[in-house]
Amino acid sequence: MPAHDLLSEAQIAEFRRDGLLVVPGFYDAEADTLPIQRAIHQVIGQVMKRHGVADVRPPFSADRFDEGYQELIARDRAWGGDVYDAVKQIPDFLRLLSDPRHKELFKALRPGSMPGIAAGGFGIRIDNPNEDRFRAEWHQEYPAQLRSLDGLVFWSPLVRMTPELGPVQFCLGSHVEGAVPVFTRSNGDKTGAYALRLKNEPSLLARYTHAAPLTSPGDLVVVDFLTLHASGLNRSDRSRWSLQFRYFNFNDPTGLAHGWKGSFAAGLDFRQIHPELCAD
């Protein structure tokens, strides 16, 4: 599908201005998200089976695809880790990750680019109620992912967002800052990319209008690798499930210079590539 069928000129201009674009109904529920929700329901069943928990759940429904998950993590939080690691191996998830629409969208937003999928840069987040350890604090994607400076995060919810679920927050237009230096020293119990903290965070955040779009399954949120964003606080009684696909540009000068290296998920500390962005 050509790029001009996916986005209007106004949407492209909005993305350039804000470093953020919400595309309502980008995905097809039946073809794209329902198979993933169905497979998550089955994976939860497999994790129950693995731990000898009787599966007495009602049959699958899209609204309650994660039935049983809260009970699992209440019994043993590590079983939630089993689910988290397993769901990114769902064929329908990987099919959607590599769907040509992402490549076309990337080319529409980054003219002259050659899109690539960031290895280790995709997954399904499960933000559990009142759990802080895996919350993403204010960050830019680039230090956490590397690959290329002009990458894009494609983020899409699997549950309808409410203020209580803690939708992702964005600083509109903050991508104009370029790559912001970060402190890398330990940040409580957070590790890897989660431990990074922005230099001059309060004044940086105060400069921009914040937005926390209340999206629904099927909606797509496109985020510039340099836009400041943070997880909200989930104060509901349900986990916030969302898809993340990250694409980069093989034709970006910074990526060309370092060979499209990946960051923490690739076992590399970004400080080796960008010592100048380390504020410690």
Ligand X SMILES: O=C(O)CCC(=O)C(=O)O
125 binds, options Fe ion, ligand X, none, Cβ within 5 to 8 A by partner type: ligand X
Report in angstroms how near the CB of residue 11 gets to Fe ion at its nearest.
21
Pick the binder of ligand X from 41, 110, 125, 147 (CB under 6 A): 125
Residues 189-248 that bind ligand X (CB under 6 A): 229, 231, 242, 244
The C-alpha torsion from 106 through 107 and 110 to 114, rounded to 10°, is: 100
Q: Residue 162: left (phi > 0), alpha (psi -120 to 50), or beta?
A: beta
Is residue 140 part of the contact set for ligand X (CB under 6 A)?
no
Q: What angle do CA 190, 150, 28 make, to 5 degrees?
A: 85
Q: How far is the CB of 229 from ligand X (least distance, A)?
A: 6
The dihedral region occupied by 62, where left means phi > 0, alpha psi between -120 and 50, and beta the remainder, is alpha
**Least distance from Fe ion to the Cβ atom of residue 169, Å:** 11
The 146-185 contact track toward Fe ion, x by CB under 5 A, reads ----------------------------------------
Q: For residue 9, give every residue at least 6 positions away whose Cβ sits within 8 Å of its Cβ, in sequence order, or none.
A: none
Q: H/E element holding 70?
A: helix 69-75
* CB-nearer residue toward ligand X: 41 or 125: 125
Q: Which of 123, 116, 100 is nearest to 5 (CA)?
A: 100
Nearer to Fe ion, 41 or 139 (CB): 139
Q: Which residues lie near Fe ion (CB under 5 A)?
A: 141
